A and B are shown apart, each in its own frame.
Chain A
Amino acid sequence: MAKEFWRWKEYNWHDENRDWREGKIVTSGVDVGSVSSQAVIMVDGELYAFSNMRTGSNSPDSAHNAMNWALEDTGMTLDDFNFVVGTGYGRVNVPFADKAITEIACHARGGNYMYGPTVRTILDMGGQDCKAILCDERGKVTNFLMNDKCAAGTGRGMEVFADLLGVSIEDVGDLSFDVEEEPPPVSSTCVVFAKSEAASLLREGWSQSKVLAAYCSAMAHRVFTLLERVGVQKDFAITGGIGKNSGVVKRLEQELGLTALTAKHDTQIAGALGAALFGKALVEKGKGRKK
Chain B
Amino acid sequence: MAKYKTEPLKCWAKAKELRDKYYQDYATAHERGGIRWTGGAWSFDAIPYGLGDDVYPITGEPYAASIAFNKEFSLKCMEATEAKGWARDLCSYMRNYWGSMYLNKYNFGGPYPKPTFAFQDHICCSHAKWYQVVAEHEDIPYFNIDVSVGPYHLIKDNPQKIKYIVDQMHESIEFLEKVTGREYNDDKLIEAVKTDMRSTSTWAKICELNKNVPAPLEEKSMYSFYVFGTLSKAKKEFADFYDELYDEVKDRVDRGIAAVANERCRLMSDTQPPWGFLKVFRYLEKYGAISVGSLYTFGLVGNWEVKKDGTWGARETYMEKGIEINTRDEALTALADWTLSRPEWQHFYDPGLKTEMMLRIAKEWKLTGVMLHLNRGCEGLSTGIMENRLGLVESGIPVMTFEGNMGDEREFDLGRTMTRIDSFMETLDLEPISAD
Among A105, A129, A145, A149, which residue has its beta carbon within 8 angstroms of that of B426? A105
Q: How far is the CA of A254 from the CA of B309 in the complex (A)?
A: 51
CB pair A149–B411 under 8 Å, yes or no, is yes
User: Which residues of B are found within 8 Å of A102, using beta-carbon distances?
Assistant: 419, 422-423, 426
**If the complex has contacts A89-B415, A143-B393, A143-B398, are A148 and B374 also in contact, measured as CB distance less than 8 A?**
yes
In the assembled complex, the Cα of A102 lies from the Cα of B417 at a distance in Å of 12
Residues of A within 8 A of B403 (CB): 148-149
Smallest CB separation, B364 vs chain A (Å) = 24
Taken together as a complex, chains A and B put the C-alpha atoms of A255 and B397 apart, in Å, by 29
Contact A149 B427 (CB under 8 A): no
Using Cβ atoms and an 8 Å threshold, which residues of chain A touch B356? Answer: none
Which A residues lie within 8 Å of B413 (CB)? 149
Contact with A along B421-436 (1 / 0, CB 8 A): 0110011000000010
Does B420 interact with chain A (Cβ within 8 Å)? yes
Given the contacts A89-B415, A149-B413, A229-B386, A144 and B423 also touching, CB distance less than 8 Å: yes
Interface of A, secondary structure class, is: mixed
Would you call A122 an interface residue if the criterion is a C-beta within 8 Å of the partner chain's C-beta atoms? Answer: no
Cα separation A89 to B374 with both chains bound (whole Å): 21
Identify the closest chain B residue to A140 (Cβ).
B427
Chain A interface category by residue count = 10 to 19
Secondary structure class of chain B's binding surface, majority of residues: helix
When A89-B415, A149-B403, A229-B386 are in contact, do A143 and B420 touch as well, CB less than 8 Å?
no
Smallest Cβ distance from A221 to chain B, in angstroms? 17
Q: Are B423 and A104 in contact (CB under 8 A)?
A: yes
Which of chain A's residues 110-136 have a Cβ closer than 8 Å to chain B?
Answer: 129
CB distance from B386 to the nearest CB of A (A): 6
- 8 Å CB contacts to A: which residues of B397-412? 398-399, 401, 403, 411
Given A143-B393, A148-B403, A149-B411, A89 contacting B419 (CB threshold 8 A): yes
| Bound form: Cα–Cα A140–B393 in Å | 17
A141 touches B426 (CB 8 A): yes
Does A142 make an interface contact (CB < 8 A)? yes
Q: What residues of chain B lie closer than 8 Å to A141, measured between beta carbons?
A: 423, 426-427
Of chain B, the residue at the smallest CB distance from A133 is B423
B-contacting residues, A63-110, CB 8 Å: 89, 99, 101-105
Q: How far is the CA of A102 from the CA of B435 in the complex (A)?
A: 15
User: Which chain A positions have C-beta within 8 A of B416?
Assistant: 129, 146, 149
Contacts of B423 in A (CB 8 A): 102, 104-105, 141, 144
Q: Which residue of B lies closest to A142 (CB)?
A: B427
The interface residues of chain A lying within 8 Å CB-to-CB of B374 are: 148
Could you tell me the distance between the alpha carbons of A105 and B427 in the complex, rounded to whole angstroms?
Answer: 8
Interface size class of chain B, counting residues whose CB lies under 8 Å from the partner chain: 10 to 19
Bound-state Cα–Cα, A148 to B401, Å: 10
The complex places the Cα of A89 from the Cα of B435 at a distance, in Å, of 20
Q: Which residue of B lies closest to A148 (CB)?
A: B403
Minimum distance in angstroms from B422 CB to a CB of chain A: 5
- Residue pair B393, A145 in contact (C-beta under 8 Å): no
What residues on B are CB-neighbors of A99 within 8 Å?
435
**Bound complex: CA of A140 vs CA of B426, how far in Å?**
9
Distance to closest chain A CB from B163 (angstroms): 43
Cβ–Cβ contact B401 & A145, under 8 A: yes
Nearest Cβ distance between residue B112 and chain A, in whole angstroms? 32
B420 x A146 contact (CB < 8 A)? yes
Chain B residues with CB under 8 Å of A231's CB are 393
A149 and B420 CA atoms in complex are apart in Å by 13
Name the CB-closest residue of B to A287: B435
In the docked arrangement, what's the CA distance between A104 and B389, Å? 19
- Shortest Cβ distance from B415 into A: residue: A89
Query: A147 to chain B: closest CB distance in Å?
Result: 9
Give chain B nearest CB distance to A67 CB in angstroms.
Answer: 22
Which interface residue of B398, B416, B420, B427 has the most chain A CB atoms within 10 A? B427
Interface residues of B in 344-387 (CB under 8 A from A): 374, 386
Please name the residue on chain A nearest to B421 by beta carbon: A102
With A148-B374, A149-B403: A143-B427 Cβ-Cβ less than 8 Å = yes
Q: B residues within 8 A CB of A229?
A: 386, 389
CB proximity of A128 to chain B, nearest CB, Å: 9
Contacting residues, chain B, for A143 (C-beta < 8 A):
393, 398-399, 427
Once the chains are docked, how many angstroms separate the CA of A229 from the CA of B399?
Answer: 12
Q: Mark B34-71, 1 if CB is under 8 A from A, else 0.
A: 00000000000000000000000000000000000000
List chain B residues, Cβ under 8 A from A146: 401, 416, 420
Contacts of B386 on A, CB cut-off 8 Å?
A: 229
Q: A103 vs B422: C-alpha distance in the bound complex, in angstroms? A: 10
Q: Give the chain B neighbours of A140 by CB distance below 8 A.
A: 427
Q: Quick one: which of A134-175 are within 8 Å of B by CB?
A: 140-146, 148-149
Taking the nearest CB of chain A, how far is it from the CB of B1, in angstroms? Answer: 21
Least Cβ distance of A190 to chain B in Å? 13
Expressed in whole angstroms, the Cα–Cα distance for A143 and B420 within the complex equals 11
Instruction: List B contacts of A104 (CB < 8 A).
Output: 423, 426
Complex: A144 Cα to B426 Cα, angstroms: 11
B427: chain A residues at CB < 8 Å are: 105, 140-144
- Which of B399, B401, B422, B435 is the most central at the interface, judged by chain A CB atoms within 10 Å of its CB? B422
Question: What CA separation (Å) do A245 and B386 show in the bound complex?
Answer: 29
Contacts of B415 in A (CB 8 A): 89
Cα-based distance from A145 to B415 in the complex (angstroms): 16
Docked complex: A180-226 residues within 8 A CB-CB of B = none
**Assembled-state Cα–Cα distance A89/B420 (Å):** 11
CA distance A105 to B401 in the complex (A): 16
> In the bound complex, what is the Cα–Cα distance between A142 and B413 (angstroms)?
24
B414 nearest CB across to chain A (Å): 12
The 25 sampled A-B contact pairs (Cβ below 8 Å) are: A89-B415, A89-B419, A99-B435, A101-B426, A102-B419, A102-B422, A102-B423, A104-B423, A104-B426, A105-B423, A105-B427, A129-B416, A140-B427, A141-B426, A142-B427, A143-B393, A143-B398, A143-B427, A145-B401, A146-B401, A146-B416, A148-B403, A149-B403, A149-B416, A229-B389
| 12 new A-B contacts at CB < 8 Å, known A102-B422, A103-B419 | A89-B419, A101-B426, A104-B426, A105-B427, A140-B427, A143-B393, A143-B398, A144-B427, A145-B401, A146-B420, A149-B416, A231-B393
User: Which 10 residue pairs are nearest across A and B when measured between Cβ atoms?
Assistant: A104-B423, A102-B423, A141-B427, A102-B422, A105-B426, A148-B403, A149-B403, A102-B419, A102-B426, A229-B386
A-contacting residues of B (Cβ < 8 Å)?
374, 386, 389, 393, 398-399, 401, 403, 411, 413, 415-416, 419-420, 422-423, 426-427, 435
